[in-house]
Amino acid sequence: MQNLSPLAIGLALILAVAAIATIVCRRLKQPLVLGYVLAGFLVSPAISWFPDVSDTESISVWSEIGVIFLMFGLELEFSITRLATAGRPPF
């Protein structure tokens, strides 16, 4: 465990807590976004009794990677023809 970088440990912790939050929210029939917000709160330094991702450099790297994935996801769903027809009046 000592040879793993803090970045990999942080990712493992974030993914594990998010997976558990997903399972709990599905069983309680709650929106998954609520579970993800609670998971983010749990891994933040705000909760002292839970292992956290407190390395600000790691948090910055993961946030940039998340924005990149979000941009790729939006690009995959983007369509010029759909955009052109969306602004036309229906009559």
What is the pLDDT averaged over residues 60-84? 78
pLDDT at 51: 67
Judge whether 12 lies within some domain: yes
Q: Choose among 10, 73, 75, 67: nearest CA to 44.
A: 10
Judge whether 17 lies within some domain: yes
Tell me the three-class secondary structure of 32-85, residue by residue: HHHHHHHHHHHHCCCCCCCCCCCCHHHHHHHHHHHHHHHHHHHHHHCCHHHHHH
Structural contact between residues 43 and 14, judged by C-beta atoms closer than 8 angstroms? yes
Judge whether 91 lies within some domain: no
Judge whether 65 lies within some domain: yes
pLDDT at 3: 59
Q: Please give the model's pTM, rounded to 2 decimal places.
A: 0.61
Residues spanned by the domain of 67: 6-86
